Amino acid sequence: MKVRTRFAPSPTGYLHIGGARTALFCWLYARKMGGTFILRVEDTDRERSTQASVDAILEGMDWLGLDYDEGPIYQTDRFNRYKEIVQQLLDEGHAYHCYCSKDELENLRNEQRAAKIKPRYDRRCLGKDSPHEGAESVIRFRNPQEGSVVFEDQVRGRIEISNSELDDLIIARTDGTPTYNLTVVVDDIDMDITHVIRGDDHINNTPRQINIFRALGKQPPLYSHVPMILGDDGKRLSKRHGAVGVMQYRDDGYLPDAVVNYLVRLGWSHGDQELFTREEMIALFALEDINKAPSAFNTEKLQWLNQQYIKEQDAEDVAKHLQWHFDHQGIDVSNGPALTEVIDALKERAKTLDELTVSARYFYEDFTVYNAKADKKQFKQGVDAILAALLTKLEVVEEWSIKPVYAAIMAVCDELELKLGKVGPPLRLAVTGTAMSPSLDVTLVLIGRERSLTRIQKAITYIQAKN
């Protein structure tokens, strides 16, 4: 049987990190098994579903490179099908109308809670015919009362829940629209889903859904419930609490491959391996290797991973993503060195593309102020003479490339009998405005001859005026 998995988000917000990981696992498993990965949008809650959320989810999937073979399929397009099934359930006695008002149900729940028992619908409408024609009603699934539901979770093992814990859930609202537990089952059947991989907040829904499968005479898929992701502080991630959308990671300067690598290692592992190409992930992924315990999101490790990717990934590739940040920060790239050169120069000093962009600014734009601390430390009286000597030597460098530029700097050191430690820092500050940069030869070459010389001259003037 060919494997078919699905990722089924509800469009009530952006694609957050937990959802992204679930999507990744579904994708990975389908790819590994040579199966089909389906994207299904669970938008039956018309109150809260928005097009903006749908777009955000699609954008997130795309950015992460999680391509789907079928979909997006929208549940709102399938209402007729759900109605059909609800009617079938009704006809076969697996469902019934319930005329209780929301208030009535609320009261029932309160009473039950007060009596310290689990709130459950008491079937007061079962077997009741319409008390008054035209009265509003919902439709409830008639859950078995005896026995229990047992399923073999692919990551947790055997899970058994007694039917006495379950009640008759609503499968169709007053307005006739279907609810989650019904639509999931109908879709999983119609789409021939073989493996359901989802968050473990759905464990409790699973037995209800299995009962619906049975009532429909269908075989339920295999379930894998993956644990939640906690925040940096160990608390549960939620929209109110640190759960940012995946696109925020793009904005913050992370490479999608790094995010995917980080995500896959959160709850899944293959021995001691930390770095995985997509091919490796696909080849090595296994549901049994998913961890049972929830894991905390650790930004520092993501940063490390991101730097690994910035360093190791093809510069051309990184440049595409870096370009976005330059555009975003309004830096004109045509006004300086090629992005790939900047990447090679800075990749060992940036954990994010965002950082890299900020520290690459002086390659493209002139700065107006020097870093205050460095200014105080380096631009002391007499340093103008060092810079003047550098200027003299650099002006006559024939080929503005690393070796000659380096030679010129060293020549000044010899001439003034100073160590590079005395000459370098002021030069660096003069041309970059900061106390840190790649090595000076590389930095000067990337900044360019004319711009470098002008900046040195400017620094000389500045120091003289200051002291």
Partner RNA sequence: GUCCCCAUCGUCUAGUGGUUAGGACAUCGCCCUUUCACGGCGGUAACCGGGGUUCAAGUCCCCGUGGGGACGCCA
Site for RNA in 121-160 (CB under 7 A): 136, 138, 156-157, 159-160
In the complex with RNA, the residue whose CB is nearer, 31 or 428, is 428
According to CB under 7 A, which residues from 374 to 393 bind RNA?
A: none
- Rounded to whole angstroms, the Cα distance separating 338 from 360 reads 11
In the complex with RNA, the residue whose CB is nearer, 178 or 256, is 178
Does the protein bind RNA through residue 414 (CB under 7 A)? Answer: no
Angle, vertex CA 400, rays to CA 363 and CA 462, nearest 5: 55
Least distance (Å) between residue 376 CB and RNA: 14
Q: Which two tokens stand for residue 89?
A: 């359930």
According to CB under 7 A, which residues from 18 to 57 bind RNA?
A: 42, 44-45, 48
Least distance (Å) between residue 157 CB and RNA: 6
Does the protein bind RNA through residue 428 (CB under 7 A)? Answer: yes
Binding mask 77-116 for RNA (x = CB under 7 A): -----------------------xxx--x---x---x--x
Q: Which two tokens stand for residue 74?
A: 């929208």
Which residue among 62, 70, 87, 118 contacts RNA (CB under 7 A)? 118
Residues 6+ apart with CB under 8 A from 149: 160, 161, 163, 166, 206, 207, 210, 211
According to CB under 7 A, which residues from 255 to 294 bind RNA?
A: 265-269, 271-272, 274, 289, 291-294
Burial status of residue 235 (CB atoms within 10 A of its CB: 0-12, 13-18, 19 or more) = exposed
Least distance (Å) between residue 310 CB and RNA: 10
In the complex with RNA, the residue whose CB is nearer, 130 or 464, is 130
Active-site option among 128, 239, 377, 403: 239
Q: Which two tokens stand for residue 321?
A: 């993503």
- Rounded to whole angstroms, the Cα distance separating 287 from 197 reads 9
In the complex with RNA, the residue whose CB is nearer, 339 or 440, is 440
Q: Is 224 helix (H, G, I), strand (E, B) or coil?
A: strand
According to CB under 7 A, which residues from 169 to 228 bind RNA?
A: 170, 173-175, 179-181, 200-205, 227-228
Query: Contact, 86 vs 171, CB < 8 A?
Result: yes
In the complex with RNA, the residue whose CB is nearer, 283 or 464, is 283
Does the protein bind RNA through residue 71 (CB under 7 A)? Answer: no
- Rounded to whole angstroms, the Cα distance separating 169 from 186 reads 15
- Rounded to whole angstroms, the Cα distance separating 350 from 121 reads 57
Does the protein bind RNA through residue 245 (CB under 7 A)? Answer: no
Q: What is the dihedral of CA 235, 238, 241, 246, to 10 degrees?
A: 110
Residues 6+ apart with CB under 8 A from 306: 253, 254, 255, 258, 259, 351, 352
Which range of residues in 53-61, 322-330, 424-432, 456-464 is near RNA by CB under 7 A? 424-432
- Does the annotation mark 239 as catalytic? yes
Burial status of residue 24 (CB atoms within 10 A of its CB: 0-12, 13-18, 19 or more) = buried
Least distance (Å) between residue 126 CB and RNA: 15
According to CB under 7 A, which residues from 308 to 367 bind RNA?
A: 311, 348-349
Least distance (Å) between residue 459 CB and RNA: 16
Least distance (Å) between residue 453 CB and RNA: 18
In the complex with RNA, the residue whose CB is nearer, 102 or 217, is 102
Query: Contact, 136 vs 104, CB < 8 A?
Result: no
Least distance (Å) between residue 398 CB and RNA: 20
CA 42 → CA 9, 135, 203, 280, 442, distances in Å? 6, 29, 18, 31, 53
Number of residues in contact with RNA under rule CB under 7 A: 85
Residues carrying an active site annotation: 239
